[in-house]
Amino acid sequence: MKSKERMQIPFTDMPTQPPQVRAKNFREVPYGYSEEMAIQEANRCLNCKKPKCVEGCPVRVPIPEFISLVQEGKFLEAAWKIKERNVLPAVCGRVCPQETQCEAQCIRGKKGRSVGIGNLERFVADYERLSGHIPEPIRVSKNGKKVAIVGSGPSGLTTAGDLILQGYEVTVYEAFHLGGGVLVYGIPEFRLPKSVVQFEIQNLENAGVKFVYDSVIGRIRGIDELFTEDGYDAVYVGVGAGLPVFMNIPGENLQGVYSANEYLTRSNLMKAYLYPEYNTPLLTGKNVVVVGGGNVAMDSARTALRLDADNVYIVYRRSREQMPARLEEVHHAEEEGIQFRLLSNPVEIMGDEKGRIESIRCQRYELGEPDKSGRARPVPIEGDYFVLNSDLIIIAIGNKANPLITMTTPDLEVNKWGNIVTDELGRTSKPFVYAGGDIVTGAATVISAMGAGRRAAMAIHEDLFPTTEVKTEGFTIPKETLEIKHAAIYPKTVYLRLNLINSSEKELDQVKIRISHVHDFFETTMFETTIPRWSPGEEHEFDCPRIDKNEKEYLITINDLHGKIMSKIIVAEEVKR
């Protein structure tokens, strides 16, 4: 099929439950693609010679390859192709913001809608799961090292999945009674069925990962004890950011005020939505106010609606265009009847003589000059207030780092927000302790947390199996294997030139070189190649385009035939021409 023909194929919308039906049940909203729909949407892909979509994916899913397999009807093979880089494809296909990541980079999107990459990822992952054709896990020889993962959210699961394939004994410690972290306590059933998450965790267990539940690290034992008493060689901290933030306004301690964290945990993880089958106490209301404009606020509001609320209001101090929630979630909320009170912010919660809330007083806002984020700053309008009657209020304005681990590990450096400080690969100030995900970055996406987990796994492997090293041009390399002869930036032609020479006496086989740009914990590959045979003394020169002409730091990753990974940051010399 020619590109012109592909451009004529309309976007394939995913069928969903009707709004008036789904607003009263917790079943998943989208039905998913049929096989015919998936092939039709895959055929919209232009099979670009230089695809940009992969650059938008923090875990580097081979998007063009898996979509090509869908075009051929090879759905199982497509799922397995994704799993080469992503251990949670069914999850990411549902909750990742593809519209700001891979789909935002899609070349086809310059003239119309991008290819539905997320919809296709979800389809093939579900096809594999429902077909029962699950490949046997790869078994590798144990390397004698033990790693503890603290937290079973997307970051911890990714780290565990990568390390188990390199021969480590991996144990995941989870504070709750189920694995999945925010995937199970934070995201409602109608967006992410818990059976999907548990299937992915079962796959990791089948591969050899051990899960220990009801274990709060920082209480039952500290990080130091994991080393001294349990004999772990490394510890990865991926506990997320689960401490709720409140507004500190009068009346916030009245009965009937929930943090979104507690409200969703009771409903999702503790299954209060299935009452009386599960006898989990959860206050419900007929007039519910949710404060906030992100995905958590949308999840809270839509959950309240399904728990028989008559009116559910979203109160957000900015405009609709500035809401951080995914457009799809905002659209679904509007369809279901959620009422938006935008450019408004609560100033006081009022209650009765028994300490129960009765109403919430809000102030109207207008947009002013842009703030540091570039968004127009919301400015309160003096004297302009309104009141909403309410019997349930949910505060969903964000979360911050829980200090439990950092308070019990004093030599673990944190920043002013309480987030753990790491380098680009997740190394902390404490030797052999690594961290990634929301505990490092603050609240972010599932896929960015997975990317951090993958980079940390690389660092753990490198640090536990170090090689003899020598410093050359600011870049650390194995002395007996490769030597950097030259690394330079050419600003006019905007590329990085790297010269590597095999300084060993051995011929090297299948040496993979990858040069990436790392920014804000997102890794974008700029260049990747494999040298089949590399003779002693032979030199290779690599030129790769630069994404940011002001960037001088690059991540160089080298894999040998045995799968040993070396990753370091190079600071290249700028050449004036």
φ/ψ (deg, to 5) at 358: -125, -35
Tell me whether the CATH fold assigned to 146-242+401-464 matches the one assigned to 469-574: no
Give 216's contacts (C-beta < 8 A, 6+ positions apart): 175, 404
Rounded to an integer, the average pLDDT of 482-507 is 60
d(CA 465, CA 360): 58
Instruction: Give the closest residue to 120 by CA, choosing from 20, 54, 35.
Output: 35
Instruction: Locate 289 and state its tokens.
Output: 């106010």
Q: Positive or negative CA dihedral for 386, 389, 393, 396?
A: negative
Do residues 406 and 423 lie in contact, with contact meaning Cβ atoms separated by under 8 Å?
no
Do residues 236 and 426 lie in contact, with contact meaning Cβ atoms separated by under 8 Å?
yes
pLDDT at 481: 54
Tracing tokens 């490769």 back to the chain, one arrives at 482
Instruction: Look at the domain 3-131 and name its fold.
Output: Fumarate Reductase Iron-sulfur Protein; Chain B, domain 2 (1.10.1060)
Is pLDDT of 182 > 90? Answer: yes
210 vs 165, residue with greater confidence: 210
Other beta carbons less than 10 A from residue 556's beta carbon: 25
Instruction: Look at the domain 245-397 and name its fold.
Output: FAD/NAD(P)-binding domain (3.50.50)
Is pLDDT of 490 > 90? Answer: no
Average pLDDT, the chain: 87
**Residue type at position 249:** I
d(CA 343, CA 352): 27
Is pLDDT of 318 > 70? Answer: yes
Is pLDDT of 539 > 80? Answer: no
Rounded to an integer, the average pLDDT of 511-522 is 64
Omega within 30 of 0 (cis) for the link into 276:
yes
Could you tell me how many residues make up the chain? Answer: 577
Is pLDDT of 152 > 70? Answer: yes
Instruction: Classify domain 469-574 at the CATH class level.
Output: mainly beta
Nearest 5°: CA angle at 67, between 63 and 72?
155
pLDDT at 548: 57
Is pLDDT of 475 > 50? Answer: no
Q: 3-state DSSP call for residue 64?
A: helix
pLDDT at 472: 35
pLDDT at 479: 42
Other beta carbons less than 10 A from residue 308's beta carbon: 10
pLDDT at 561: 56
CA distance to 195, 338, 471, 522, 548, per residue, from 21 (Å): 22, 14, 64, 39, 48
Q: Indicate the pLDDT class of residue 373, thresholds 50, 70 and 90.
A: confident
Instruction: Locate 557 and state its tokens.
Output: 């990753």
475 vs 122, residue with greater confidence: 122
Q: What is the distance in angstroms between the CA of the first residue and the CA of the last residue of the chain? A: 45
Q: Please state the CATH superfamily assignment of the domain spanning residues 146-242+401-464 in this structure.
A: FAD/NAD(P)-binding domain (3.50.50.60)
pLDDT at 474: 38
Q: pLDDT tens, 41-96?
A: 999 999 998 888 988 888 888 999 999 999 999 999 999 999 888 889 999 999 99
Tracing tokens 């990317």 back to the chain, one arrives at 451
Q: What residues does each domain of the chain span?
A: 3-131, 146-242+401-464, 245-397, 469-574
d(CA 278, CA 280): 6
Instruction: Give the closest residue to 438 by CA, choosing from 462, 463, 420.
Output: 420
